Amino acid sequence: MSWNPRVDRVAPFRVMRLLEIAQAREAAGHDVIHLEVGEPDFATPEPVLAAGRQALADGQTRYTPATGLPALREAIARHYAEHFGADVDPRRILVTPGASGALLLASQLLAGPGDRVLMADPNYPCNRHFMALAGAEVDAVPVGPESGWQLDAALVARHWQDDTRLAMVASPSNPTGHMLDKPRLEAVAEAVTLRGGELLVDEIYQGLCYDLDPLSVAAISPDAFVVNSFSKYFGMTGWRLGWLLAPEAAVEPLTRLAQNVFLAAPTPSQHAALAAFTPECRDILESRRAELGRRRDALLAGLARLGLAPSLPPQGAFYLWLDISRYSCDSQAFCQQLLEEENVAITPGVDFALLGGERHVRIAFTAGISRLEEAVSRLERFLTRR
């Protein structure tokens, strides 16, 4: 049997195998603390659930336009205006099956054989893999504390080549939780524009910010492409709904792609998402953001006690990128042993970083504070045996 060789450029997502093992241990009666996947222990907000139930009761199960419900596109546009001061035409918004659907559209439009794509290393692995499936070459630029764990304007200038077509940044980022503030994001946009390239910004964790105000590149550059999602801030992971904000000239070809690739995003999910922008739901979401901030601080305090707190704390999302090189240079084995010995599930850094991933792990502060404190105690016990 033969298949497209581009598929071989897609590495397995190791955390999913770890999750499978963790769930098997849980089923066998072990008390597993899940800090491995990007899904907090919050249920979808009740206003969204109620809207989803009503949509089903009303028979809202037929196809929508490929670009999404007009009412939802308008609601997203108002969200940009009210919270980010960005004047966005709803016609520039394409509702997609998850942020993955938005990334698929963007990669197929912007990247192809012979093109190079710049992005940070570490990064969410699917960002690399979508570009590889499009036939592009990814230049994964190593980043660290000196650049705030971000691909900044200086790195764009240093690594841009004649055949570079696209730069992709994520703010807040997965797996590090770090952000680009407005001056740095403006500088990145300018650096890309000066070189005649395209800018794609992953804003999936946009609302989950603790030290800086939420920011969208839509308020900076109308030519940037933006991937966003209802999964993280809005708490709708399993509803599989996201969106792509695109320059006006790109809407028509993207619409054609959407029509052919997935036809339309899930209809009940779109109707449910309309309730995500109500004041009632906003209050719930903001209280959850505050709780995640408290969880971050509790986890940082526990790790500081172990001498493991990162020098640059995460500013957003719900992840912490932890250097374990004092104890191991094999993050996959480290995570496997921690799970087997102490029933704490975290993610090996090799899922996210091509360089240095074996010396890092990602911890998701997606469980309550008492569980995080227990996880730190188990980690301490584990480390004393190393």
> Which pLDDT does position 1 carry in this prediction?
74
Last residue of a domain, one of 255, 278, 301: 278
Q: Are residues 166 and 182 in the same domain?
A: yes
Q: Are residues 100 and 115 in the same domain?
A: yes
Q: Are residues 343 and 258 in the same domain?
A: no
**Residue 244 one-letter amino acid:** L
Residues 295, 368: contact at Cβ < 8 Å? yes
> Which pLDDT does position 225 carry in this prediction?
98
Q: Are residues 23 and 60 in the same domain?
A: no
Q: Are residues 255 and 106 in the same domain?
A: yes
CATH code of the domain in which 361 resides? 3.90.1150.10
> Which pLDDT does position 87 carry in this prediction?
96
**For residue 275, which of 102, 99, 60 has the smallest C-alpha distance?**
60
Give the model's confidence band at 316: pLDDT under 50 very low, under 70 low, under 90 confident, else very high. very high
> Which pLDDT does position 151 carry in this prediction?
97
pLDDT in tens, 140-169: 999 999 999 999 999 999 999 999 999 999
Across residues 271-299, what is the average pLDDT? 98
> Which pLDDT does position 30 carry in this prediction?
97
DSSP β-ladder status, 344-345 and 137-142: unpaired
Range of the structural domain that residue 363 is part of? 5-43+281-385
> Which pLDDT does position 15 carry in this prediction?
81
Last residue of a domain, one of 246, 262, 278: 278
CATH code of the domain in which 159 resides? 3.40.640.10
> Which pLDDT does position 295 carry in this prediction?
98
Q: How many domains does the chain have?
A: 2
Q: Are residues 220 and 311 in the same domain?
A: no
Residues of the chain above pLDDT 70, percent:
100
Instruction: State the chain's mean pLDDT as an integer.
Output: 96
Last residue of a domain, one of 278, 311, 346: 278
Q: Are residues 31 and 52 in the same domain?
A: no
Q: Are residues 230 and 84 in the same domain?
A: yes
Q: Are residues 273 and 186 in the same domain?
A: yes
Q: Are residues 13 and 53 in the same domain?
A: no
Q: Are residues 182 and 115 in the same domain?
A: yes
Q: Are residues 173 and 318 in the same domain?
A: no
> Rounded to 5 degrees, what are φ and ψ at 227?
-100, 130
User: Is the pLDDT at 9 greater than 90, yes or no?
Assistant: no
Across residues 171-200, what is the average pLDDT? 97
